[in-house]
Amino acid sequence: MYELNKIARALTDKNRLLMLKLLTEKDICVCEMNEIFPLSHSQISRNLQALFSTGLLKRWHDGKCVVYIADRTESSKCCQAMIELVTNCLNDDELLHNLRDKLQKLTEAKVREKSK
């Protein structure tokens, strides 16, 4: 019960819920999160740490960047069930669509920059 309570508390914040939803779709580094969410760097980091500490996310370093993604394989069954629930929800949320668009444009700009 403690684990489920901890996960539920982490997901009471709409930004964390939206972050988790995006992270069920692709891996995203903290600097990208900073560009798509209207939050400070410290708020982004705190929100990601709250999700990570529950076991919902895994992370790794890519140079200077910290990259996160939803942990579908190594997390507990409770975390996996919550990730599956979030994966299947929020798909019609307008704010989520806006964040996806920002992330897509950011990704396209990085690809263009690398190809120069």
**Nearest of 111, 108, 101 to residue 36 by alpha carbon:** 101
Whether the CB-CB separation of 21 and 86 falls below 8 Å is answered with yes
Tokens of 43: 């708020």
Residue 20 DSSP one-character state: H
| pLDDT value, residue 15 | 95
Rounded to whole angstroms, the Cα distance separating 100 from 12 reads 21
State the pLDDT at residue 91: 87
Report pTM. 0.91
Place of tokens 């920002």: 102
Q: Would you give per-residue pLDDT tens digits along the chain (116 residues)?
A: 888 899 999 999 999 999 999 999 999 999 999 999 999 999 999 999 999 999 999 999 999 899 999 999 888 999 999 999 999 998 889 999 999 999 999 988 887 777 76
Structural domains for the chain: 2-115 (1.10.10.10)
Predicted confidence at residue 46, as pLDDT, reads: 96
Distance between CA atoms of 40 and 18, rounded to whole angstroms? 16
